[in-house]
Amino acid sequence: MPRLTHLFLLAALLTSARAVVAPGDQGAPQQVRVNIAPPTPDNTLIAQTANQVDQKSGVPLNAPPNLDVPPTMVTAVDGKLTNTTIPALSALSSEDRRDIQLRQSGYQNIFQGLPPNQHDAAIEGTAYLTYTVVNNATYNIQACTDWCNTIEGCVFVNLYYEFNNYLLDFVFSEKSNLKCAAYGDVHGASEKTNFGGQPSYPQVGNETVPLTFITQSSGWAVDSLVDPSTPDGYEFVFGPTGGANNAPGYMGFAFIDKYDVDACAALCNTRGSDPVGGVCQYFNIWRAVVDGVPTTYTCAMYYLPSNASTAVNFGQGDLVVTFSRGYARTSILPDGGFEGFTSCSDFCFTTGYANWVGKSAPKGTDDATFFFFPPYARTGHGSALLGAALEADSLSGTISPAKPLNTRRGTEYLVQCFMSSAFSGPAFEAQAKVDILWNGVRIGGVSGFSEYEVVASTAPVVGTGKDVLSFVGGAAPAWTFIDDCTIFEA
């Protein structure tokens, strides 16, 4: 015989059920999500960190010429200084990498060297790449700039003589002391801070060891730049401009040691999921110039895409924003926000339309539907619903894109959606459950009461070409709304 407390609980549930108006009857949700204003960039922290980081370098005294360009390094993350590589990039060969800034023919002189009889200084600046030595029978500018054209990302060279360098004079096979240093950024004469002065020759008895010195240090930059190639999985949004994005959905920033859009894309792809906004969907790369000198390169990451209209941060204090570009991550899932359903202007629902199809369980009715109604959506006006829209049954439904996905065989993808099982309140929604299926295999899901929250595949899935995505669940009055679904290359 049922206990009295159980009977009271059952009566309470039945009373609550009668009070819940089904979504198909335009019922009001029992729970309303508290809107939290998406964060915007901490521009003060970015400026403070830019004044702390030191990315300036030049040709090391004892390094041999023609070393490979080192991988892009991360020098700060969210205000904390670091010095780490980006694994997704370091594994790529130079043939796989895109030019950071593609060059057109011609160079212009940025600064002249001092006369041969005067000591000069070499550049110590950001985005140092590598160096070579050129024939020193003459002051060989052409050989230096021609070599720059062969170096990935080279947009500027510093040409100078270095005397009293034992390795250049006697060890390295080139037997030349005319150094040609390549940089991924353009530098000015104010950055000529390496005057030499180091011992290089071996000590012999008590003889004085000559110190290195530099003469005729000049700078040459490409005469025009074009946009970098857009990273795989992204689309170019805007730039270059003198304003960085100051937009909602900010996830944090990283400094890198050269202007490298592929590096920013890799950082965005591997940024941890935000508990409110999910994965990184957009990055803004820009160069910070402090007191007129290139200082660092910022990757600001967002879980909401933005555009040029929010590029209104032109700098703080002595920091000026330059070369600002925006890139949005592209989803291979058509109409992941269900905005393509536009059969009304206020409230309506359907079991399918051009981009999505809903399938009810056997003997079920409207167990998988699509709504035009902003109060049910996370963003916009569209959303999908699992569970009988008019509470005609308590069976599960299935929604799927109308066509197989345009995936690439062997490519990894990350599936992400926002789901809400809150419509009928915690008691009924406790039984809510949705599974995400990839070619019929479960790759993630959610259960129990929840407001709109991120639900993603537990691990990247591998494309086979024309893959099938589906969402299965719902059991009225344990309804689940789905919105803002994406499938990104992982």
pLDDT per position as a tens digit, 299-339: 999 999 999 999 999 999 999 999 999 999 999 999 999 99
What distance in Å separates the CA atoms of residue 216 and residue 307, rounded to the nearest whole number?
Answer: 45
What distance in Å separates the CA atoms of residue 480 and residue 417, rounded to the nearest whole number?
Answer: 12
pLDDT at 262: 95
**Are 96 and 172 in contact, with CB atoms under 8 Å apart?**
no
What distance in Å separates the CA atoms of residue 448 and residue 430, rounded to the nearest whole number?
Answer: 4
Q: 205: which 2 tokens?
A: 């008895």
pLDDT at 490: 86
pLDDT at 379: 93
**Are 370 and 383 in contact, with CB atoms under 8 Å apart?**
yes
Apex 401 CA angle, 397 and 404, nearest 5: 125
The single-letter DSSP state of residue 169 is I
What distance in Å separates the CA atoms of residue 54 and residue 475, rounded to the nearest whole number?
Answer: 58
**Are 81 and 75 in contact, with CB atoms under 8 Å apart?**
yes
Instruction: List, in sequence order, every beta strand (DSSP E) within 278-389.
Output: 282-290, 293-302, 315-316, 319-329, 348-350, 356-360, 368-372, 382-386
pLDDT at 32: 59
Q: Measure CA of the first residue to CA of the last residue in the chain; give whole Å.
A: 56
Which among 310, 249, 238 has a CA at the least distance from the CA of 281?
A: 249
pLDDT at 7: 38
Residue ranges of the chain with pLDDT lower than 50?
1-18, 91-104
What distance in Å separates the CA atoms of residue 453 and residue 436, rounded to the nearest whole number?
Answer: 15
What distance in Å separates the CA atoms of residue 315 and residue 47, rounded to the nearest whole number?
Answer: 8
Q: pLDDT (tens digit, 9 = 90+) per residue, 169-184?
A: 999 999 999 999 999 9
Which among 356, 352, 286, 350 has a CA at the least distance from the CA of 324?
A: 286
pLDDT at 207: 85
